[in-house]
Every structure is written in C-alpha cells, then in structure tokens.
Amino acid sequence: MKEPITTILVIPCFNEELRINEQDYLNFSHSHPDHLLLFINDGSTDNTELLLQKMIGKRMNVKLFSHKKNNGKAEAVRNGIEYALRNFQFRFIGFMDADLSTPLSECLVLEKEFESNPRLEIVMGTRVQMLGKTIKRNLFRHWFSRIIATLICKVLDEAVYDTQCGAKLFSKSAAEQLFNEKFLSSWLFDVEILARHKNIVGKEDFKFTVKEVPVNEWTEKQNSKLRYHSVFKLLLDLYKIKKHYF
C-alpha cells in the first residue's frame, strides 16, 4: 500500500461464503484507501477463502491471513491483530463482524472519538435504540442480551451497556497490550478485553480511556450463529473471567 494506513479492520471469517457482501467491502476499500481490511479465514470449509482471494486481487488495501483449522472468533481476532502489529504501521486497529451487521462506515464514527479525545484507548460501538438510529433486533434476543449485559456489568464492576456489538477500535498502544495472550472465552472475549484493560490502567482511568458510542445502524442477521441454549456456556465463561481477572 502506498497510502499511509490510518486504521486496520480485522474481520474474522468462518464459513461466511453466503454472508459476505463483496461489493460493500470493495466500495469501502475504494473510498477509503487509508483503511486496510484484514480478513482472517478461520479454517473455513466452504468457499469463503476463494471469495476472499478474489477480493484481495482487486484491491491493494484488502489482505488475507488464513488458519488451516478453526480456532474460534477470539483467536482469529487476536491472531489478526498480532499479525497486523508485526507487519504494518497504523494509528488504530479494530474488528467488525463479517456479515456487516454494523456497516463499515461506522468505524469512521469511532475514529472521530479518538481525534476529539486523545486519552481514549478503546472506542466501542453500542446498540441503543434511539431517535435517528436504526437498530433492528429480535425482541427475545434483545432481552436475553440485556440479562447477559447486566451480569457482565457485575463482573466488570463498570456500567458498560453493550460489550458484544461487533464494532470496536483500539489505539495501537492498547492493542499491543490487550491481544498478546490467548483469551479464556471465544464468545465473551470482548469482556476479557475490558477486564485486561481495567487491570492495566486501574479503575479511575478506565472511565477516561474507554468510550461507548451508539452506532447509527445495526441489523441482526437471520442466520446469526449464537443459540439461546448457549446460556450455560456464557455463564460458565463469565465465572471464569471473574475468577481469573478479579
């Protein structure tokens, strides 16, 4: 890439052939040449890798890193960020869901928060239904997620509204500290990120270095992979996180 990189977006993929909108990615990469899209093919068994290979052949700021076997979303994101830290110079790095439940343009909104507040190290998109926002969620799933969110607040001892929205950005220095070790949970690694950050900066600085920003648009995909019967797995992971970090 000849253009200096402002932001790298890590996009983990596992059997996403039917959910990846190639044109949306190509349009964004064309309009924002200072943004690098780094796809992590996490051992897909469908045609995901072939689709991604086609994309990287069309744009210089689209890259691909592949796992031979599936390692889970947490490790895919972590390895992607570690790969980016080793191979590129940039200001910010983050991750987004491959199905673009949150549009790529939302990362530009998150970036502006860093520009306006130099103390920030983590900026997280949050799904809040309010005037001017388009948040489309299954009602039962929404209430289920609010119960989990309440438990997460108890574990972190912080009033975080939404840890699980798939849109997050980090300063480069924060990424270097937060992704250098494997996570305990593949599903709730977002919570672990905040736990690690709190342990590094302390409770007082936590609220000055982390900010939640309501996303303008978020659409729940019909074939989303999380299942409600996974509640026991989520509770067990929360217990492990609480015990390990606090």
**Does the pLDDT at position 224 exceed 60?**
no
Confidence (pLDDT) at 143:
86
Domains of the chain: 7-245 (3.90.550.10)
Could you give the CA distance from residue 91 to residue 74 in angstroms, rounded to a whole number?
22
| Average pLDDT for 69-89 | 98
Q: What is residue 2's predicted lDDT score, i.e. its pLDDT?
A: 64
Average pLDDT over residues 104-125: 97
Q: Report how far residue 128's alpha carbon sits from residue 118's, in angstroms, rounded to the nearest whole number.
A: 25
User: What is the model's pLDDT at position 129?
Assistant: 84
pLDDT 10s digits, 10-63: 999 999 999 999 999 999 999 999 999 999 999 999 999 999 999 999 999 999
What is the arithmetic mean of pLDDT over 184-204? 97
Give the separation between CA 95 and CA 9, rounded to whole angstroms: 5
| Tens of pLDDT, residues 89-114 | 999 999 999 999 999 999 999 999 99
